[in-house]
Amino acid sequence: MVFGQVVIGPPGSGKTTYCNGMSQFLKLIGRKVAIINLDPANDSLPYECAVNIEDLIKLSDVMTEHSLGPNGGLVYCMDYLEKNIDWLQSKLEPLLKDHYLLFDFPGQVELFFLHSNAKTVIMKLIKKLNLRLTAVHLVDAHLCSDPGKYVSALLLTLSTMLHLELPHINVLSKIDLIENYGKLAFNLDFYTDVEDLSYLQHHLDQDPRSAKYRKLTKELCDVIEDFSLVNFSTLDIQDKESVGNLVKLIDKTNGYIFSGIEASAVEFSKIAVGPLDWDYYRYPCLLLILNIIFAQF
């Protein structure tokens, strides 16, 4: 049984930086990590990847050969990867014995709530390789400073959750920079818990552009609240405690905390709902190393 993360989110949300920081953190707590780059547009990687889609297909070649733009080219690349899933499977098989997997996907959002090929790739890998994956959906925290953009982010997040059908964690990334874009209208808990969006209506009405679509916005907010699926964790990739808290949550959703444990259903339930202590908190020297590593980001 192999565990990992499917890292997704709009362009600029920090997926590549996340994969780099997360891999460093996981290695320091004793896990062997393999990053799989499935973004053919990402030609400047800060990390060493175990598998790179550019060995199969390059976005620049697709755009030139088929006269496509970046978005159309990425859809083509995902379709090509789906048809050549055996290539990806063969690359992953040597890693299955002892690696934790991080999949770095493209940022084009239509791949995850309109088109089916990215989802098909993920589901085929889960079935063929017996993977236990959690989708980590990154959203730039600065969107909270604009009510209209925040509602759009909620809709995108909900659509992605319903489309992918994976254990899912939504993350407000770059939380350390959130107030650089202006003071928030509400406490941060309002934006992470996603409760009672009617409070946003007053702030939306202050913008003439948003006021015009007041009724539409209210209906969209009602849809989000009716599903009651969306909430957010926060992340500062430079803060070891922030990353550690997110790892604990991910390990619960993909079942990593249960690996190697033989227990009754009652014991499993206690583990699932209880707090989780990390061994690295008990070793001061490791904490020092973590501080040095995360100071580099």
pLDDT above 70: residue 268? no
Q: 21-30, 33-42, 135-144, 251-260: which range is least confident on average?
A: 251-260
Beta bridge partners of 133: 4
Nearest C-alpha neighbor of 155 from the set 107, 222, 108: 222
pLDDT at 179: 81
pLDDT at 181: 82
Q: Could you report the per-residue pLDDT of 112-146, keeping only the tens digit for each?
A: 888 899 999 999 999 999 999 999 999 999 999 88
Tokens of 179: 């107030």
* 233 membership: H or E segment, kind and range: strand 233-234
pLDDT above 80: residue 297? no
* 132 membership: H or E segment, kind and range: strand 131-140
Domains of the chain, CATH where assigned? 2-194+230-294 (3.40.50.300)
The DSSP call for residue 110 is: H
Please name the amino acid found at residue 79.
Answer: D
Q: What is the spatial distance between Cα 74 and Cα 77, in angstroms, rounded to a whole number?
A: 5
Residue that has been written with the tokens 């920081």 in this structure: 21
